[in-house]
């Protein structure tokens, strides 16, 4: 089905705008994250935003999706050289969409945009880590064409 | 992971029908395309109809049609109709030996990953991956080069 056929009047996906996050967006980002994770982390998001805005801005991406100027989703990621012995690649480490706005391509638009940023920086691969039980997010990244990569996450409890 | 023959038939049928949601496809056409026994496929199709993934269309030009939401139906949904792939936690807990319990934990890790993978791949996602692979092969053929190696999957 063509995108023209898909877009119907009142479809929120038509009004989604993607832009770099600003300091004023942090409360909305904290709220979206809290809805998804159950934990409010205002300091974490503020520090991350400041770090991304200050240092190596060419390697960092912090984007928000808005509908009618309201933040309905965000994505963050960065380009890490030779992390874990791998080639330079883009890492997505947070993606969140307002549950009311899901299935309207907000996540896809955010993911597409961050991939474009990575590609413009010369990166040819994007990676992320997903908790095994997080079926919703895993299904989303699968639908974007992501497959299980060469790396396996490992962990242990430290005695 | 090795899937049973009925499961594979079910997956083939679902993928074939979901790829052509506007068409009614006969059991004979599916059996011929995937080189499977029509009798065997008929049983599989009945299971898929009962699960409301496909529906039977009667009359001239009749056949089967995909009637579920391909974005919502996962590989696990289809596989579970034909075999049990979700690990049984009792198996680990009930063992008498530490060796056995520890080994089962490792095996349970593998099962968990397999189940998570199957649960995360929708029929729509799989169709998209197939289409991408098909285009990639066609582009390579058009360039006159060798076929690309299959994408490393999971």
The pLDDT assigned to A152 comes to 85
- Does ipTM come in above 0.85? no
Give the per-residue pLDDT at A10: 46
Residue A158 has what pLDDT?
Answer: 94
- CA-based Rg of chain B, rounded to a whole angstrom? 19
Residues facing A95 on adjacent strands: A75
Q: How far apart are CA A130 and CA A144, in angstroms?
A: 14
Closest CB from B112, B132, B154 relative to A145: B132
**A148–B132 CB contact, under 8 Å:** no
Please state which of the ranges A32-46, A95-109, B66-80 shows the lowest mean pLDDT.
A95-109
Query: Is there a domain that residue A24 lies in?
Result: yes
Which of B87, B120, B128 best probes binding to A when mutated, by most A CB atoms within 10 angstroms? B120
Residue A46 to chain B, least CA–CA distance (Å): 32
Alpha carbons A140 and A133: distance in angstroms, whole number:
13
Which pTM was predicted? 0.80
Q: Within a domain: residue A78?
A: yes
Whichever domain contains A72, its CATH number is 3.40.630.30
User: Does a structural domain hold residue A2?
Assistant: no
- pLDDT the model gives residue B149: 46
- Separation of alpha carbons B130 and B133, rounded Å: 5
- Digit-coded pLDDT (tens) for A110-138: 999 999 999 999 999 999 999 888 888 99
Residue B151 backbone phi and psi in degrees, to 5: -65, 135
Chain A positions contacting chain B at CB under 8 Å are 132-133, 135, 138-139, 142-143, 145, 147-148, 150
pLDDT at A32 over 80: yes
Question: How sure is the predictor about A149, in pLDDT bands with cuts at 50, 70 and 90?
Answer: confident
Model confidence pLDDT, tens digit, residues B102-122:
888 888 888 888 999 999 999
- Residue A131 in domain: yes
Minimum mean pLDDT range among A82-91, A121-130, B72-81 = A82-91
Q: What is the DSSP string of A5-55?
A: HH--TT-GGGGEEEEE--GGGHHHHHHHHHHHHS---HHHHHHHHHHHHHS
Domain count for chain A? 1
Confidence of residue A83 (pLDDT cuts 50, 70, 90): confident
| Closest-CA residue of chain B to A147 | B153
Nearest Cα of chain B lies from the Cα of A17 at a distance, in angstroms, of 24
Rounded to whole angstroms, the Cα distance separating B23 from A143 reads 24
Range of the domain at A107: 13-143
| Chain A residues lying within 8 Å of B124, measured CB to CB | 143
Contacts of residue B113, defined as CB under 8 A and 6 or more positions apart, other chains included, come to A132
CB contact under 8 A, A138 and B113: no
3-state helix, strand, coil in chain B (%, to 5): 60, 5, 35
A117 lies in a domain? yes
Q: Residues of B near A (CB-CB distance < 8 A)? A: 71, 74, 112-113, 116-117, 119-122, 124-125, 128-129, 132, 151-154
Subunit contact B120:A147, Cβ cutoff 8 A: no
Would A153 be classed as within a structural domain? no
The answer on pLDDT for A6 being more than 50 is: no
**If you measure CA to CA, which chain B residue comes closest to A148?**
B154
The C-alpha atoms of residue B46 and residue B55 are separated, in whole angstroms, by 9
Two tokens at A41?
């982390």
Q: Which helix (H) or strand (E) is B31 found in, with range?
A: helix B27-34
Q: Is pLDDT at A4 greater than 90 in this prediction?
A: no
Taking only the tens place, the pLDDT of each residue in B16-69 is 999 999 999 999 999 999 999 999 999 999 999 999 999 999 887 789 999 999
Torsion of CA B133, B138, B141, B143, to 10 degrees: -100
Per-residue model confidence (pLDDT) at position B151:
41
Determine which helix (DSSP H) or strand (DSSP E) holds A74, and give its type and residue range. Answer: strand A70-80
Does residue B2 have a pLDDT over 50?
yes
Both tokens assigned to B144: 């006159």
Q: Which residue has the tokens 């240092």?
A: A55
Q: Is residue A4 part of a domain?
A: no
Q: Is residue A132 part of a domain?
A: yes
Beta carbons of B57 and B24 less than 8 angstroms apart: yes
SS3 (DSSP) at A126: strand
Instruction: Classify A92 as helix, strand or coil.
Output: strand
User: Above pLDDT 70, what percent of chain B?
Assistant: 89
């Amino acid at each position: 089905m063509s995108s023209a056929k898909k877009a119907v009047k009142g479809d929120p996906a038509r009004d989604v705008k993607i832009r770099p996050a600003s300091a004023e967006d942090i409360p909305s980002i904290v709220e979206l994250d809290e809805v998804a994770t159950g934990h409010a982390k205002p300091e974490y998001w503020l520090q991350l935003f400041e770090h991304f805005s200050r240092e190596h801005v060419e390697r960092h991406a912090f984007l928000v999706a808005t509908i009618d100027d309201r933040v309905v989703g965000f994505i963050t990621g960065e380009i890490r050289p030779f992390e874990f012995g791998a080639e330079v690649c883009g890492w997505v480490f947070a993606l969140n969409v307002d549950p009311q706005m899901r299935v309207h391509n907000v996540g896809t638009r955010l993911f597409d945009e961050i991939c474009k940023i990575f590609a413009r920086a010369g990166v040819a691969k994007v990676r992320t880590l997903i908790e095994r039980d997080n079926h919703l997010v895993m299904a989303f990244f699968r639908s974007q064409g992501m497959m299980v990569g060469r790396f396996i996450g490992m962990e242990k409890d430290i005695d | 992971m090795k899937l049973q023959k009925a499961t594979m038939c079910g997956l083939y049928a679902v993928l074939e029908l979901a790829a052509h949601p506007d068409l009614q496809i006969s059991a004979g056409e599916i059996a011929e395309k995937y080189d499977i026994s029509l009798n065997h496929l008929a049983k599989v199709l009945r299971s898929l109809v009962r699960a409301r993934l496909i529906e039977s269309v009667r009359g001239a030009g009749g056949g089967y049609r995909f009637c579920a939401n391909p974005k919502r139906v996962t590989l696990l949904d289809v596989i579970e109709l034909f075999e049990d792939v979700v690990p049984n936690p009792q198996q680990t807990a009930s063992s008498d030996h530490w060796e056995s319990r520890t080994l089962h934990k490792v095996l349970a890790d593998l099962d968990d990953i397999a189940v998570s993978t199957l649960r995360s791949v929708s029929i729509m996602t799989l169709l998209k991956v197939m289409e991408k692979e098909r285009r990639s092969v066609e582009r390579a053929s058009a360039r006159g080069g060798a076929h690309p190696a299959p994408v490393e999957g999971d």
